[in-house]
């Protein structure tokens, strides 16, 4: 085999590439850490002083299907802020409604449908509440 001659030619297409400027990143300067034991001690001392716990902690480890009817209504009335509204089916003896629970009292429930129409039903007539899904 014979070697081919290398011929240097000018590039056919020359792309101008600008010099990239280095981006200035704002980095974290400080970090504080407390051990889990210290957090528990601080939490227990604040519980002794305040004695009140958040209602969402009660529902944190319980599935919706495992809740009683009163617990489901309390959960839907005090839905955590990080969740979008939940569309549910409210079953009564003669009729069922689909919508979002707006207000819940001991005697009345206010339900809003997809169009925004509000319906008031009696709490004593309610048989079951089933979760349908999140509202987009």
CATH of the domain at 111: 2.30.30.100
pLDDT beyond 50 at 52: no
Cα separation of 79 and 7, whole Å? Answer: 75
Residue reference for tokens 């014979």: 2
- Could you tell me which of 69, 61, 48, 76 has the C-alpha nearest to residue 125? 69
Total domains in the fold of the chain: 1
Whether 5 is covered by a domain: the verdict is no
Residue 17: the pLDDT is 73
pLDDT beyond 60 at 86: yes
Whether 7 is covered by a domain: the verdict is no
Specify the higher pLDDT residue, 21 or 101: 101
Residue 131: the pLDDT is 86
The least confident of 44-48, 49-53, 132-136 is 49-53
Whether 17 is covered by a domain: the verdict is no
Enumerate residues 6+ apart whose C-beta is below 8 A from 129: 69, 72, 73, 76, 88, 89, 90, 91
Whether 51 is covered by a domain: the verdict is yes
Specify the higher pLDDT residue, 56 or 36: 36
Residue 51: the pLDDT is 45
Residue 1: the pLDDT is 56
Whether 31 is covered by a domain: the verdict is no
Whether 18 is covered by a domain: the verdict is no
Whether 16 is covered by a domain: the verdict is no
Q: What is the pTM of this model?
A: 0.53
Arithmetic mean of pLDDT, 13-20: 75
Whether 25 is covered by a domain: the verdict is no
Q: Which domain holds residue 93?
A: 36-134
Residue 19 φ then ψ, to 5°: -75, 125
């Amino acid at each position: 085999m014979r070697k081919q001659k290398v011929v240097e030619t000018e590039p056919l297409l020359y792309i101008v590439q600008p010099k990239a400027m280095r981006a200035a990143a704002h980095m974290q300067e400080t970090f504080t850490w407390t051990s889990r034991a210290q957090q528990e001690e601080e939490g227990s001392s604040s519980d002794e002083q305040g004695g009140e716990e958040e209602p969402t902690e009660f529902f944190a480890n319980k599935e919706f299907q495992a809740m009683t009817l009163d617990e489901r209504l309390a959960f839907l009335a005090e839905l955590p802020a990080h969740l979008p509204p939940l569309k549910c089916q409210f079953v009564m003896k003669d009729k069922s409604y689909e919508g979002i629970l707006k207000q819940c009292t001991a005697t009345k429930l206010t339900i809003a449908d997809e169009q925004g129409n509000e319906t008031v039903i009696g709490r004593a007539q309610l048989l079951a509440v089933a979760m349908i899904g999140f509202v987009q």
